[in-house]
Homo-oligomer: A and B are copies of this chain.
């Protein structure tokens, strides 16, 4: 029920693809892009597995989930697989996301994500500091918080990224949910209360670092 990820709904979701499989599909696509850039045409499940630190059987199961088939002799067609994962993950229409909190972390994410996915873009940033608003940050227009509801509706934004300090995170989450957002990525070390049906992915850097430090200590040799 956490992990700087794992993610979850408020309540029992119905029988859809599990978050773990969705995460791995996203990973596979990234790896496939790499392979494509190296000029590869086909890939075997065991190759993808090696790159993803998984097993061949798991790769095959995951691809089964999106109904993609390979050939026993050639493996999977990379181009087709990329498209198939794309259809599954991205859906038919482009999706828009908003980022709230244009501090160091927010800027890092804007920079990093810029132009990375054609079907998923961060189209708006918000901040409460007037020095940051009403201009573009890393090519992304930054609005004052007051405009959030309006912009979210106008731009058809369905996913929000929260990079504000802990004290403001719940308030921001409320604003986003009330404006109609249905997925959140929360970097604040706060457990957000959200309406049922909103998917929340928490990333708490302290937690992740503690975990890494704990397991680092378990192998002192």
Q: Inside 8 A of A9's CB, which chain B residues have their CB?
A: 215
Among B89, B201, B208, B217, point to the contact of A95 (Cβ < 8 A).
Answer: B217
Question: Is B205 within 8 A of A53, CB to CB?
Answer: no
Q: Can you name the residue of chain B whose Cβ is closest to the Cβ of A95? A: B213
Q: Is A147 an interface residue (CB 8 A)?
A: no
Among the 9-residue stretches A20-28, A36-44, A74-82, A125-133, the one with 4 or more Cβ atoms under 8 Å from chain B is: A20-28
By the criterion CB–CB under 8 Å, are A212 and B206 in contact?
no
Which residues of B are found within 8 Å of A53, using beta-carbon distances?
1-2, 8, 10, 191
- Min C-beta distance of A100 to chain B, whole Å: 14
Q: Inside 8 A of A201's CB, which chain B residues have their CB? A: 4, 208, 211-212
Assuming the A-B contacts A5-B5, A120-B213, A158-B217, are A203 and B206 also in contact, with contact meaning beta carbons closer than 8 angstroms in the complex?
no
A155 contacts chain B at the CB level, 8 A cutoff: no
Q: Is the CB of B20 within 8 A of A3?
A: yes
**Which residue of B2, B109, B111, B161 is within 8 Å of A24 (Cβ)?**
B2
Contact A212 B183 (CB under 8 A): yes
6 more CB-based (< 8 A) A-B contacts, given A2-B23, A30-B189, A113-B209: A27-B191, A30-B204, A183-B212, A183-B216, A199-B215, A199-B218
Closest 10 A-B residue pairs measured CB to CB?
A183-B216, A104-B108, A199-B215, A105-B108, A183-B212, A5-B5, A182-B216, A4-B5, A3-B5, A1-B54
Can you name 20 A-B residue pairings with CB atoms under 8 Å?
Answer: A1-B53, A1-B54, A2-B20, A3-B23, A4-B201, A7-B211, A22-B214, A26-B206, A27-B207, A30-B189, A90-B213, A104-B105, A104-B111, A117-B206, A120-B213, A159-B212, A181-B216, A183-B214, A185-B209, A201-B208
